[in-house]
Every structure is written in C-alpha cells, then in structure tokens.
Structure 1
C-alpha cells in the first residue's frame, strides 16, 4: 500500500513544472517596503530611483543607471536584462515550515498548508487530499477575488445604502421632532389664549358687579344728601323764626323732627369671592397633555442586499432614475447678493454663483461657507456664468461685450464682440461654448457656438427664415445643451423654451403647462438638463420648476416652497440647484430616486 502511494506521489511531483523561479503575480500587485502610496516600485540596488528594468536571471528590479553595476557583480551569469513590463511572471514556491531548505510544491487540503516532498515521504499526510500548489494557489486566488467582488458589488453598496437610509431617517427625525415641538408650543399658545379669554371674562364680570354696587350706593347717597339739605333748610327756618319779633311766625312753626329721627338704612356692599383653582404640577401636566415614551426598534431583517450597477459602457444609456413623489430640499445656502441670478456646479462639493454685482462667489455646498470670490475684469455687474469640462469658470460681461474664462484665479478674455452683447453661456459636452447674444439695437437674438474664440455655428432662424428667439435688452439669457446634444434656450420674451437639434433645426417649443401652480403666465428664466435628458425650467412667475422630457412633454412641477427661482444647474448625481432671485438663497433639491 505504501509503495503504491509512493509511486503515485512521485509521478504527481514529476508532472509539476519545477522551472518556475519568478513570483507568479500581476505587476500591479507587486509591492515592498520601498513602495510609495501610489504603488511605485523602487530599484533594488539604489533603493531610490523608479524601476525601469528587470533581470530575469537574478530576479532583481533595476533602474537604468544601475543595470551596468548589477551585470558586473557576477559576470559568470548570463544576465537577461528586460524592460520591467516584459519580466517573467512565474511562481516562487514557499519554503517548507518543517524542512527549511525544501520548497513546497504540493498543498494539503485537509491540513490547509503547503507541503514539500519530505513531508509527503514522512507519511504525515497519508490519505489526505492533495493538490498541486499552483492549483491550490489559483483556487485560493479565485476564492479571494470572488469574495472581493461580492464585497465590492453587493455588501459595500448595501452598507452605503443603509448609511444613506439612516442619514435620511435622521433628517426626518430632526423634522418630525421639530414639528412635535412646534405642535406643543402651539397647544400651549392656544391654552394661553383660552386662559386670557377666561381672565378677561372674569374681569368684565367683576367690573359689572362693581358698577352695580356703586350705582346702588350712589342712589343711597343722593337720598341722604337730599335729607341733609332739607334738615339744613329747616334749621335756617327755625333760626329766622326765633330771631323774629313777628309772633305769628313762631305760632306758625310746625315741627319736622320726628320725620328726620327715622334714620336711613345702612347699605354694606358684599364683595364677590374668587375661588382659586388649585392645580398641582402633575395635574396641570395631565390637563395640558403628555408625551408618550420614545423608542427605537431594531429589525434584524430590515434591509436587503443591493447590487452596485456597473458603469455604463461608452454609448450606452445611463441607469434610469425615476422622479420622486415628493422632492426634498437637502441644503439651503445664503449668498448675500442684492439679487441672485445664476448658479453653476463646479463639482459635487462646490457651486459658483453670480448676482446683481460684479462679484462671482464660490460656496461649499455642505458647509454653506464662502470659499472664493472673483471680481469681473471690467468691474461690471450682472454676469452669467458656466463651468467648463476642465473645471474653469466662464462668465459673460454684457456691457464689456466679452466672454471670459478664469484659470488659476486669472481672468482671460476669450471672445470680444462688436455689434452684439453676450447674455448667457454654457459649456458643451464637446468642450465648445454656446453663447446667446442680443444685437446692439436690441432687435435680434442668436446662439453662437465657439471653439475657443473661433465661431463654428450660428443659430438664429428657422427653416422659413423667421427668428427663433425674441430679443431681450434687459435681462441675462440662459442656454444649455441636453445629453442628446439638443440646444435649449429659455426665451423669456415669448414665454417659451425653444429647443433645436445639434444642426440648429427646430424640434419643439414648450410654452408652459395649462395647470400652472399659480395660474400666472409662464415666465422661463433658468434652464438645465439632467442625465435622463429631461429639461428643467425655472418659472419665476409661478414660483416653481417645470420638468419636461426630451421631446417637450410635461412631466411635473417642483415647488418645495420656492420663491422667484431664476438660475438652475444639476450636479453629476442629478441634484438640482435653484438660485432664488430676491431672497438670495440657493436650494439643493433631490428630485430623482
């Protein structure tokens, strides 16, 4: 039995390719103590220069400067120097734990360790399931990659979704507790009003009782004063009679004494008494109302695994996002302008804004703090803004008739016009600039595509030679490019959104929706698009944003308590940013799932 096992073992080992000498792994995984945080591999000799070459004979990584030194160290060897990217990728077998000088070329699945030929000859792994080391290595690698993929594609995005859900619940909790506190205060205010009413009622009753008793006493006093006057007159008559020599007056005197000896009655007012209601603290609490206890319930199976969507391949459609039933305001940013006109996303963290002064401001979205201010080169106010694909700020200067770009905080003039005034600007997916402009006499409007300062295309008339856009001498204009390369203009002069294709041919006009929120005329100001090629339009008159699809069909409104929305933009996650004209705020709104 032992001889048979030994023969099978010998044949298995002989089938192993023993000429592997270089580590069998991808160069992207090679790393040692001299490797930087960016996985840069250093020369094994000088330990400072970046690796460029490799000796397949000695398995040494080299920079070009150290190749000669390495070759001269042992001239007897046929040093095979190759480019680092062309080095051999094979396996260095691990040393055996029990037999230091032996390489492990087999793997014991039962003991879960690599083993050498001496281990096998010692019968330590007799009847154990064995496999070639490379096979075990591949199986282990496959298992690790599978686990990594599951972590990356399922578990990691699930935890991200859970974290997002918890944050959302925290926001809801803040709102709900705020609503609860407001309701309690309102209840208290209502009770205060009821108590005030009761106090006023009781005070009125007190005044009425007082007045009635005062009237009674006054009547009694009037009667007494009348008697006092009569008695005084009687005394005067007696004095006259007594002092007179006329005897007839004395004999004509009639006594009235008995009539005044019967004194008037005494009226003593009895004051009403107020029985104060005695309510102890606990009783008052019960009377006012009480809170139930709060609690949090842990549902062990409250979440389900989600799988990360693969990045769409070039030319494929983006993942479909649905409109939320109730859009949510995520952030409000105070800008401090006199009037706020436009907003443009620099990235998912920061936004540029412009208003009715000469300063363009960069704000942190999450902090709401001012990061940077840029003043227009001419000092003129009212600039329209956009951000290029490279992240540079572009702005129009209507009075100076220029379009400018800000690079490293330095302003460069890109376009200077003579007979036209630039109003709005946007950066396209190809890197071109679309500029909407009005003529000097305010009678014409057109959209011009520029590559740098070179005019490539003019869009002004339809197929019948009629103007596509109305002139607007007063306000800034807004233009954007959709994901399907349509060009969309918010034409406030005619109260319409005018959409043409890439060639400048008219596609449709959107003139608002019949059931506008406030039933006022459609007044489009800002315009932007999202990843689904939907078009979003700021309707300043109706304090809302219209959402239409790429063919001009109305989908829904976003109001969220907006007031006079003007500028719009969306970030890479399809969050909407709304610049509100008079209250100078930018609101970040989540409106897609």
Structure 2
C-alpha cells in the first residue's frame, strides 16, 4: 500500500513541479501583462480625453474669437456710419447758424434796400433748407446659448468600461478596422480577374435598392425606397431589419461596428449601435445624399445645399465639423450634385457627382481637399451607348476606384491616379442599372441594382 501511494504521490509531485508549476508561472506572467496593459490603456485613454477636452477648448475659443471679431466689425462699421451722419448734421448746423446771422442782420440793422435786394436774389434760400435724415438704430444683441449636459457628454465622447471574463470570445462577425486597407500597411498584391466570379445573387422585397455598405465579409446593410434598412447575409438570408422614420440616403459602418445613415427630410444623421439603440449623431441643417467612414474614424458627407454651393463635409466620429470641400484651387465649384463618397487607401476623397443631364463625373481630391483629377467616363477606343451616369463609388485594397455606371449597366475600374483600367462588369455579366456598390475586406464587390431590388456579390481580384 505504501509503495502504491508513494508512486502516485511521486507522479502527482512530478506533475505539480512540472506542468502545474510551469502553467501557474505563465498565468501569473499573463496576469501581470494584463495589469500592465490595463494601466497603459487607461493612460492612453486619459491622454485622449485630455486632448479631446483641449480640442473642445480650442473649438470654443475659435467660436468666441469669431464672435468677438464679428462684434468688433459691426461696432466699427456702425460707428463709422453714425460718424458720417453726425458730420453731415454738424455741417447743416454750421450753415444754419450762418443763415440765421444773415437774416438777423438784414432784419435788424441793414438798410431796407439790402433786405429787398437779398430776398429778390435769394428767394428760395429758406425753402432749400433740408434737414439731414434721421436714423433708426437697432442695438446688437446676444442670445445666451443653452448647454445640454447630456448632449454635451455625448459629443465629448463616452467611456466604455473594460470587461474581464474567463470566457473566450468567439464572435468574429463584427466589422473591425481593416488594417490591410490602412495606408500604413502595404497590401498584398492582387490582379484583376479576367472574368469576375459571381458569389451570390439575392432578390429583396423592396421595389428599388439604392445603397449598400458591407459590415463584414459575409454580410452587408442595404436600403432603398422608403423607410427601413436590412442586414443581408451573403447567402441571401436576412439577418436583421432596422426600422427608420424616413428613407436612408446613404449607409456607412463605423469602426466600432455601429451603423450611420442620413435622413434627408429631417436633415439629421442617425447612429444605430450594435444593440440597435438609435441616436442623433449630426444635425446637418441641410439635405444629405451620401456618406462614408474614413480609416481614421472621421465621416465624409455629401451635402445638398439649396442656396449655397454643394459640397462634401468632414465630421469627427462624435459629430464635430472638421472641414468643408466645395471649390478647387482656382475658386471654381467642385460639385454639381455629390451623391456618393468614399476614401481610398492613399486618403484621397472620391466623390460621385451627377445632377440630371449636367456633366457627370467622379471628382477625386487629396486629403487636404485639393483637386487631383476628374473622371468623366470617356475612354479612348471604348464606346458607351449612353452618357456616363455615375452612382455608387468604392475602393479596394489595391487602391482601385470602382464606379457604378447606371445608364450603361457597367462598373468602371480606374487607378488611384484616374487611369481607366477596364469595365470589370457589364451587361454581359448580368449587371442591370447598378446603384450602390461596396467592396469588403476580402475584395468582394457588393452591388445593388436599383429597379431590380437585387443584391449581387462578385469576386474580381486574385492573388499573384
């Protein structure tokens, strides 16, 4: 019995000294790494919070500076105008005093003949007296703005607590930031296939489809005429349905996986979180016809200004306006009717611009907003049956720009410098009046066909 118990004890001792000891040392090491990572993460977050607060201060300071300058300008211009009225009134007073003195002299001490002669020569002197105009001054005013503490906190940003769990997360379905599309990461080289492969085709219940934005390599959000957004699996299965008050005029997925879309009639961009909580992200004040999320997390929005020049506006992820693009280096308007927008891997801004029968084109700007080139769809030795009619625009991991040409039932492929490469899809490939397009992280091309209310997915790139 002793020998048996001794042998079992020695085996257990060996396991404890070997495997168990090694495992617990590794776990302690891992726990300390997590501790260090937690400290580092909180340090980084606090720095970001401080920077965000400084950005707020800078933003408010800029608003204050602009308001003070406006007040100073108004004060200067108003005082100058009042000074002109005052000088005119003083001149009138001086002339009036001289005339009073003259009339007193003629009536009190001059010879009667002098008065008669003066009146005969200057019979309308009194009648010609014209008082300076009166002025009505409305004093400037300032309306105190109201600070919504809840909204201000939302605009500042939201701190999300970390989670500590003993369970492994196996949910890889959420869309994450695609490092292969980052300008800091060199993508693997791929070539355009001679014949794109159709992966799937799905018919929806909507009458018309306009917009598509991939969520991950297996699913995408789509919308069309009327309210509502669908999440469609690549196989054709509807995974989710998001209700909206109005018709979405664009779709985009943010880095945290939340969906954003503009409601044209309400002039608001809404954000739908992963748990389907809908909040107002940006009150644009104007109609919005297309948007996208950049790799840095900002939002590009096509603005349909009625009275002002149409433009593309960049917002931060929390809704602060950062930049506007509407004129080129010569002060000429860039857009007639911006509809769709996307960002390329070199941070170029690609805008599909079309308005009725006005010259249709794709406008490409660099990240500073300077015009790089315009693509009008006219290709040497290539004949389009109808006028170039760009709709959706997208980019892939190689920096190609893809353009849906609704009128010609084609998808144009051009380089990031504007050189025509090919029609990767045409009517011969079964394409009919394409509208929205989106290229996912695996370079699968999602297309929604307008009048057919059909979603088609193609794979058109292959590794060298």
Q: TM-score range by the shorter chain?
A: 0.5 to 0.7
Q: Distance in 2 between matches of 1:561 and 1:435?
A: 31
- 1:315 Cα shift? 2.9
Counterpart for residue 480 of structure 1? 342
Q: How does 1:146-545 map to 2 (within 5 A)?
A: 315-366=184-235, 368-376=236-244, 379-407=245-273, 408-418=275-285, 420-441=286-307, 444-451=309-316, 452-471=318-337, 477-493=339-355, 494-514=359-379, 515=381, 518-545=384-411
SS in 1 for 2:442: coil
> Is residue 574 from structure 1 mapped to residue 436 from structure 2 by the alignment?
no
Deviations 1:280-330 (A, max 9, x none): xxxxxxxxxxxxxxxxxxxxxxxxxxxxxxx99993421110010111211
CA drift at 1:461: 0.5
Listed one character per residue, the Cα deviations across residues 137-173 of structure 1 (whole Å, up to 9, x for unaligned) are xxxxxxxxxxxxxxxxxxxxxxxxxxxxxxxxxxxxx
Does the residue aligned with 2:303 lie in a helix, a strand or coil? strand
TM-score, scaled relative to structure 2 = 0.59
- Residue correspondence of structure 1 range 557-572 to structure 2 within 5 A: 557=423, 558-559=425-426, 560-572=429-441
Compute the displacement of 1:516 (Å).
5.0
Aligned to 2:143: none
Q: 1:567 to 1:516 in 2, by over 3 A?
A: farther
Cα shift readout 1:63-100 (whole Å, capped 9, x = no counterpart)? 9xxxxxxxxxxxxxxxxxxx799xxxxxxxxxxxxxxx
The separation in 2 between residues aligned to 1:592 and 1:513, in whole angstroms, is: 24
Give the paired residue count.
294
CA distance in 2, matches of 1:448, 1:413: 17
Query: Is the 1:444–1:471 Cα contact (8 Å) retained in structure 2?
Result: no
**Alpha-carbon distance, 1:51 to partner:** 5.6
1:482-524 C-alpha deviation (Å, 9 max, x unpaired):
0100000000133100000000000000000335564211100
Q: Which has the higher contact order (CA 8 A, sep 6+)?
A: 2
Residue 534 of structure 1, CA deviation: 0.4
Q: Is the 8 A contact 2:221 2:232 kept in 1?
A: yes
574 and 562 in structure 1: CA distance in 2 versus 1, 3 angstrom threshold = same
CA distance in 1 between counterparts of 2:299 and 2:394 reads: 15
Alpha-carbon distance, 1:440 to partner: 3.3
Relative to structure 1, is the Cα distance of residues 389 and 516 closer, same or farther in structure 2, using a 3 angstrom cutoff?
A: farther
Alpha-carbon distance in 2 for matches of 1:413, 1:507? 34
Q: Deviations over 1:458-477 (max 9, x none)?
A: 111001111100137xxxx1
Larger Rg: 1
Is there any run of 5+ residues in structure 2 with no aligned partner, and where?
Answer: 1-15, 35-179
Post-superposition Cα deviations, 1:386-409, rounded to whole Å, max 9, x if no partner, equal 111111111011110011110111
Q: Which blocks of at least 5 consecutive residues in structure 1 are unaligned?
A: 1-20, 32-40, 44-49, 55-62, 64-82, 86-310
* Residues in 1 aligned to 2:311 and 2:390: alpha-carbon distance in whole angstroms: 17
Q: 1:383 Cα deviation (Å)?
A: 2.7
Cα distance in 2 for residues equivalent to 1:360 and 1:433: 20
Q: 3-state DSSP class of the match of 2:350?
A: strand
SS of the residue corresponding to residue 384 of structure 1 reads: coil
